[in-house]
Amino acid sequence: LVDESMPKQRSHRQIPEGYNYTEYHPMEEIYKWMTQIQESNSELVTQHHLGKTIENRTIYYLQISQPSNKPKKIIWMDCGIHAREWISPAFCQWFVKEILQNYKSDAMIRRFLQNLDLYILPVLNVDGYIYSWEAERLWRKNRSPYMNGTCYGTDLNRNFNSSWGSVGVSYNCTSEIFCGSGPESEPETRAVAQFIEKKKTDILCYLTIHSYGQYILTPYGSTTTPPSNNEELMHVAQKAAAALMGKHGTSYKVGSTSSILYSNSGSSRDWAHMIGIPFSYTFELRDNGTHGFTLPSDQIQPTCEETMLAVTTIIDYVDQKYFPGGAVMLTSGTLVLLHGCLKETDLV
């Protein structure tokens, strides 16, 4: 349900009707929200089945796609890989709302939607998220049973096939960073990995949203060897952090996971970059430890507002890089065509 009565200038008060984006929502409400978002914005949004969780729940993603004849490239963003990081799914929902409210009026969004499709996964670890609502607020992993059901949960962000099991993990199911019985042992991991693998030639940007700590993290966690496009990755991340800070003064640290956070293998972001997705980032949202995972809901709005600026900075950069000077991908062929058509064509 998109609150279309929201004025273009963002007020600080949330209008009572419609979905409340400044509150945390349990999974049942998020499922309903996805259905309603698609129904109210069917020209732009479609809901898709990604896979099933270990407890047989459905994992859905939303595709935001401006109808067009052109082939598009893809921006992927997932939230809620770790159950207790509630601000993460809250941000994915906020992001979708913002795009849908502003795509007609905001020039930057309008521009990139001409070239890019946005694939948003609001809650990856559905079982874990539900468990954090119903049983244990600080649960992190999925709900995969091990050792005859005496131990539960794999850390999905240690379960991807990126130097799996080599550093910053545990082989013991009782650990919060248990990497699973093998790379992609978990259905949630496989659901994401298989989809992204299939679409990887079209995916320009992989974003994964976590909390807390206030970081924009670049590859890698599994090694200190920098990625081939490190300079550019860092430059864009710093731009994003600066944009973020401009909103409410929140400072984010920027750097590779292995140098500023800790070493870890099997992360989704490392894997995405390793299979060739050039702009891969992990966000760790507010705060810096005062509330940690239990970020009060009065911080949802400011967190989402500032993070929105960071994410759109990245998307905008990617858009300008791969679709420079207009809505056309400049290959040598199209360059010749453009030249001839320039007089007639209205280049937006």
Of the listed 85, 98, 284, 306, which one is catalytic? 284
Instruction: Give the chain's end-to-end CA distance (angstroms, integer).
Output: 30
> C-beta of 171: minimal distance to another protein in Å?
6
CB 194 within 8 A of CB 302: no
- List the one residue from 98, 155, 186, 270 that touches another protein (CB under 8 A): 155
Determine if 80 is a binding residue for another protein (CB under 8 A).
no
- Beta-sheet strand order (sheet of 116-121): 45-52, 58-64, 116-121, 73-79, 203-211, 279-285, 215-218, 253-256
Nearest residue to 146 (alpha-carbon basis) of 177, 184, 172: 172
Q: What is the DSSP letter of 170?
A: B
- List the one residue from 246, 296, 330, 345 that touches another protein (CB under 8 A): 296
Q: What is the DSSP letter of 24?
A: -
φ/ψ of 102, rounded to 5, equals -120, 0
Determine if 172 is a binding residue for another protein (CB under 8 A).
yes
Total residues in contact with another protein, by rule CB under 8 A: 41
Determine if 186 is a binding residue for another protein (CB under 8 A).
no
Q: Each residue of 122-141: b (16+ CB within 10 Å) or e?
A: bbbbbbbbbbbbeeeeebbb
Q: x-or-dash pattern for another protein, window 23-62, by CB under 8 A?
A: -x--------------------------------------
> C-beta of 285: minimal distance to another protein in Å?
13
Task: Please count the residues of the chain.
Answer: 348
Token pair of 233 as six digits? 């990755």
> C-beta of 317: minimal distance to another protein in Å?
21
- List the one residue from 123, 124, 169, 308 that touches another protein (CB under 8 A): 169
Given the DSSP bridges, would you call strands 279-285 and 253-256 parallel, antiparallel or unpaired? Answer: unpaired
Nearest residue to 329 (alpha-carbon basis) of 12, 73, 21, 53: 73
Token pair of 93 as six digits? 């929902």
Residue 215 bridge partners (DSSP): 253, 284
Residue 183 bridge partners (DSSP): none
Cβ distance to another protein smaller for residue 24 or 206: 24
DSSP three-state, residue 158: helix
Determine if 230 is a binding residue for another protein (CB under 8 A).
no
DSSP three-state, residue 151: strand
81-140: which residues touch another protein (CB under 8 A)?
Answer: 133, 137-138, 140
Determine if 323 is a binding residue for another protein (CB under 8 A).
no
Cβ distance to another protein smaller for residue 65 or 166: 166
- List the one residue from 4, 17, 39, 176 that touches another protein (CB under 8 A): 176
Cβ distance to another protein smaller for residue 167 or 338: 167
Annotation marks residue 284 as catalytic = yes
- List the one residue from 80, 165, 219, 278 that touches another protein (CB under 8 A): 165
Nearest residue to 181 (alpha-carbon basis) of 170, 167, 191: 170
- List the one residue from 92, 233, 240, 254 that touches another protein (CB under 8 A): 254
- List the one residue from 58, 251, 334, 345 that touches another protein (CB under 8 A): 251
> C-beta of 180: minimal distance to another protein in Å?
13
- List the one residue from 21, 129, 281, 293 that touches another protein (CB under 8 A): 293
Residue 226 CB neighbours (<10 A): 16
DSSP H/E element including 282: strand 279-285
Residue 146 CB neighbours (<10 A): 17
Cβ distance to another protein smaller for residue 41 or 218: 218
> C-beta of 309: minimal distance to another protein in Å?
18
> C-beta of 208: minimal distance to another protein in Å?
16
> C-beta of 291: minimal distance to another protein in Å?
5
Enumerate binding residues for another protein (CB under 8 A): 24, 133, 137-138, 140, 155, 165-172, 174-177, 224, 251, 253-255, 259-264, 287-297, 299
| Residues recognised as catalytic | 284
